[in-house]
């Protein structure tokens, strides 16, 4: 039962959130007064910093996207990054270059972090991210931008972690 000022309801939300945080280690702010660290945005920043600390500017990795779009936009695609910029995108199974338009959907690892950050900035309905413990790379990402709109979700999975280029 909620008190007129909503404090009882807020306490109930806090307890439920605390249980969720303890159960899965992830939470989002319910009343902005729980005071627990480790919300999604801070996890993003921590993992971004962990990736940056590796100083990898030239690497390859394999990315598969999930979306309600043509197969050309799904992959899997081997993304080659040199000097911090994407220099090549190749369909893994066809061994053919990815055309420019679908290619933009296969960014550098830094670009993946940017997509996640934009989802938080746009207050996406649901953002679920699993990061690699050692590198901080976002391994699996699911973003549902709008609760009441079908088929606008986006997901991506890193199938092969970034490998440094010589």
Structure pTM? 0.73
Q: Mark whether 27 and 42 lie in a shared domain.
A: no
Structural domain for 1, as ranges: 1-33
- pLDDT band of residue 74 (cuts 50, 70, 90) is confident
Length of the chain, in residues = 166
Quick one: 74 and 146 in the same domain?
yes
Does residue 71 surpass a pLDDT of 90? no
* Contacts of residue 25, Cβ cutoff 8 Å, sequence gap at least 6: 38
Do 67 and 44 lie in one domain? The reply is: yes
Contact 5, 31 (CB under 8 A): no
Hey, which of 12-16, 19-23, 157-161 has the most confident mean pLDDT? 157-161
Number of domains in the chain: 2
DSSP secondary structure letters along 46-105: HHHHHHHHTT--SEEEEEEEE-SS-GGGT--EEEEEETTEEEEEEETTT--BPPHHHHTT
Could you tell me if 24 and 43 lie in one domain?
no
Beta bridge partners of 127: 143
25 shares its domain with 56: no
């Amino acid at each position: 039962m909620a008190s007129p000022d909503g404090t009882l309801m807020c306490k109930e939300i806090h307890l439920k959130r605390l249980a969720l945080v303890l159960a899965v280690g992830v939470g989002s702010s319910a009343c902005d007064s729980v005071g627990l660290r480790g919300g999604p945005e801070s996890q993003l920043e921590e993992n971004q910093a962990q990736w940056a600390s590796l100083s990898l500017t030239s690497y390859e990795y394999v990315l598969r996207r999930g979306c309600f779009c043509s197969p050309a936009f799904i992959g899997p695609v081997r993304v080659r990054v040199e000097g911090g910029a994407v220099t090549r995108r190749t369909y893994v199974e066809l061994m053919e270059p990815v055309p420019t338009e679908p290619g933009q959907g296969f960014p550098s690892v830094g670009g993946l972090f940017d997509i996640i950050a934009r989802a938080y900035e746009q207050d996406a309905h649901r953002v679920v991210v699993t990061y690699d413990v050692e590198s901080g790379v976002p391994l699996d990402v699911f973003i549902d931008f709008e609760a009441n709109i079908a088929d606008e979700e986006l997901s991506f999975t890193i199938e092969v972690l970034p490998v440094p280029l010589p």
